[in-house]
Amino acid sequence: MAFDQILLARAQFAFTISFHIIFPAFTIGLSAYIATVLVMWLVTGREHYHRLARFWTKIFAVSFAMGVVSGIVLSYQFGTNWSRFSVVVGNVVAPLIGYEVLTAFFLEATFLGVMLFGWRRVPPWLHVLSAICVAAGTSMSAFWILAANSWMQTPAGHEVRDGIAYPLDWFAIIFNPSFPYRFAHMLTAAYLTTSFVVLAVGARYLVAGRHLDEARTMLRMAVGFIAIVAPLQLVIGDQHGLNTLVHQPVKIAAIEAHWDGSKPGDLVLFAWPDDKAETNHYEIAIPRGASLVLRHDPNGLFEGLNSVPAADRPPVAPAFFAFRAMVGIGFVMIAAGLIGVALWWRGRLFDTRWYLALASQGWWIGFVAVIAGWTVTESGRQPWLATGILRTADSVSPVPAMTIAISLALFVIVYGIVFAMGIYYINRLIARGPEGHAGEAPARGLPNRPLSAAEEAGREMFTASGRPRR
Amino acid sequence: MEWYLPVIWAALIGVAVAFYVILDGFDLGIGILFPFGENEEERDQMMNSVAPFWDGNETWLVLGGGGLWVAFPQAYAVIMPALYVPVIVMLLALVFRGVAFEFRWIAVTSKKYWNFAFVAGSELAAFAQGVILGGLIQGINVDNGQFAGGPLDWFTPFALLCGCALVAGYALLGATWLVMKTEGAIAANARANAQTLIVVVIGFMAAVSLWTPLAFPRIFERWFSLPNLFYLAPIPIITALVAYAAWRALARGAEYLPFFCAIALFLLGYLGLVISSYPYLVPPSLTVWQTAAAPTSQLFTLIGTAILLPIILFYYGFIYWLFRGKVRPGEGYH
């Protein structure tokens, strides 16, 4: 196969999947958030939860639509651009995608209709249940997609006959060595990504002095969640890395830009990795730091890039730089959570201008971390598409390079328009803010649980002081 | 097991495609008929009549494509590269049309562009799907189990005819859906359009039915050899009767029957194409058995499908029941 074809097909896949992942990364978390807020509304009967849920549901609808249409593209792209891949690993990977459609797509797509249009048509419990079904669907979808991707990273439970992979043990295929770590890492990443969007919107309203009830709820929920989950993500990510060290040592070597495996690894903070010269330029490193992190021993050894022939190595720079971007953002997230909780503790969360100003601008950091993380894991798997089974270069369809180039250009134009307008419209929805009055919904179904005025006032006093229960 | 699994899967994918064509057919049809909406309010109602369903409807397309990959990876790997251009065009058209469902409501000054995106996206997606169908029926150049043709092999008068036919067919489904789901001027307008569309659709069906046997000897053999002729003769006869029944139902003001007649027309046409192509999945060379996945893979997914599909159909039906009845102005969540 011609070089151009492979490069173009890869560029097209990288582009369409990077575009796609933005939306699931957001909607997995957002659907869970909406379901949570709706359950809180059912339990407490407080109207601002309902306004909050309706507000985020509108944003969810826009994001979900973009996620759906860009996801359909991917399910056909395996065939259009990667037909050899479809045949060689189809017996193993395709059923996982099939299960995704059956367990997740139908669930989320069908109940989305109730979630969006059922506000006045169905009783509240059914509406809340639909939101939960959508949230469950999005997570289930992630389960199967990550099972398929993890199998491509660390294949198990199969045998290869005449160059084609055949399944032997479905349990081993689904729960392949890297799957539990990747699934936990990605799901947590999705939740964190959404938390930072919620945080930003809440902070934006507080700065502007609008929608204060909703804004405080958003801020408290986001800060509380980030403070707990961002540090947890560091632990999950570390475990994921140790798992990768066992199963894909060359990927770790690329991440650490570690060339010579006979010496302990330095923790390279910055460098310019040079694939040809097999060394790093302009390196700033903590001596033996990588060995300490990966082996918990400053003299510990781990495989270097030189342990495999150049043809079996991934390009070092993408994994190296993307990993640093991801981890850097991870630490920013941890700091954001801890500072937020500290301010909350002192009762200053809602009036510390600099924190709110920063938070209101930081909605995008989760998305960048997610894309960086995927860049690490996908480029680090190269030159394999399915590790040890099929090389990327042997996977493409017999389609002329020009056809792929034209379709790539069309994808860039169409996605560019759709994405720009989508962001613009989501921003417009945020600018409008949560609307509606207490009496407006639900028009039918269960009445809201009335709260006495005194109780309501008491709640407000509690939330105004903002001090968490000890 | 080796023998019947591929047949079951071929039937399942056939059912998924039929579901897709009918369900997404009517909501694509709404897009095709969108320019006939007299004003924004009417267009709002037209869109709201399908808005709760379109996402679920489009999932059948993923099931069809995904199912083909699951059960017949060799066929998937030949069909997709061979029909690369119409497949990509369809996907891009669906992108525009899908986001238009949401963007249109938020847009103020740019609303007219999203109306256009909705119309053009629906028409183009329908047309591309017809071309894909035509491209498949007319056959794909395969060598050694791989696609061996050029990027524009599909570009034939026959495939373009199929593209136009599907646009008309979806418009008919959309028009009869509006007859069922709306009231007043929209419904009256749709009723008139549906009558015209029945004539157009029957014309296209006749054209495809005559073209395929004349152009492809294997299809001529299938339909016009004895005794097949006698067994298969009821299909065109029933098609004509259903079309007549739909026409009559529209003329006497029936609200539900025209939609179900339109569905029946689609199923009959679909049955005809299946009869023409069986047992090939990729005419004229690859059969369902040659392209089948490993039996364990087919079985693994079949078990899940047998359990999950009835559940899906149950809640899917529930949603249609929930949103039953006429759509009224101003209904929606925006």
Angle between helices A90-100 and A124-153 in degrees, nearest 10 = 170
Considering only A130-139, A442-451, B123-132, B216-225, which range has the smallest mean pLDDT? A442-451
* Closest-CA residue to A56 (of A183, A211, A184): A211
Chain B interface disruption, residue of A55, A74, A106, most B CBs within 10 A = A106
| DSSP reduced 3-state for A25 | helix
Angle of CA points B280, A164, A160, to nearest 5°: 150
Residues 292-321 in B contacting A (C-alpha not used; CB under 8 Å) = 293-294, 296-297, 300-301, 304-305, 308-309, 312, 315-316, 319
What ipTM score was computed for the predicted complex, to two decimals?
0.84
Write out pLDDT tens, residues B284-327.
Answer: 788 888 888 888 888 888 998 998 898 888 888 888 888 888 88
CA distance B182 to chain A (A): 17
Write out pLDDT tens, residues A252-292.
Answer: 989 988 888 888 888 888 989 888 888 888 888 888 888 88
**Does the pLDDT at position A437 exceed 70?**
no
CA distances to A132, A280, A283 from A298, in Å: 48, 21, 19
Contact B77 A91 (CB under 8 A): no
Q: Which residues pair with A274 in a beta bridge?
A: A279
Q: Can you give the pLDDT at residue A2? A: 57
CA distances to A399, A402, A404, B84, B310 from A86, in Å: 14, 22, 17, 15, 28
Contact B69 A78 (CB under 8 A): yes
- Taking contacts as CB-CB distances below 8 angstroms, the residues of chain A near B102 are 61-62, 65, 425
Q: Which of A54, A110, A410 sits opposite B92 (nearest CB)?
A: A410
Percent of chain A with pLDDT over 70: 92
| DSSP reduced 3-state for B110 | coil
Where does residue B325 fall: left (phi above 0), alpha (psi -120 to 50 degrees), or beta otherwise? Answer: left
Whether B84 and chain A come into contact, CB under 8 Å, resolves to yes
Q: Can you give the pLDDT at residue A118? A: 80
> Which pair of tokens denotes residue B222?
């299938």
> Which pair of tokens denotes residue B86?
């119409």
* CATH tag, B4-322: 1.20.1630
Domain ranges of chain B: 4-322
Q: Could you tell me which chain B residue has the CA closest to the CA of A54?
A: B333
Domain ranges of chain A: 21-246+317-465
Q: How far apart are CA A14 and CA A392, in angstroms?
A: 13
Q: Which of B297, B315, B322 sits opposite A91 (nearest CB)?
A: B297
Cβ proximity of A341 and A299 under 8 Å:
no
pLDDT in tens, chain B (334 residues): 567 888 888 889 889 999 999 999 999 999 999 998 888 888 888 998 888 888 888 888 888 888 888 888 888 888 988 999 999 999 999 999 988 988 888 888 888 899 999 999 999 999 999 999 999 888 888 888 788 888 888 889 999 999 999 999 999 999 999 999 988 888 999 999 999 999 999 999 999 988 988 888 888 888 888 888 888 888 999 999 999 999 999 999 888 999 999 999 999 999 998 888 888 888 878 888 888 888 888 888 899 899 889 888 888 888 888 888 888 776 665 5
Region A397-419 average pLDDT: 88
The rounded mean pLDDT for chain A is: 86
DSSP string, A354-365: HHHHHHHH-TTH
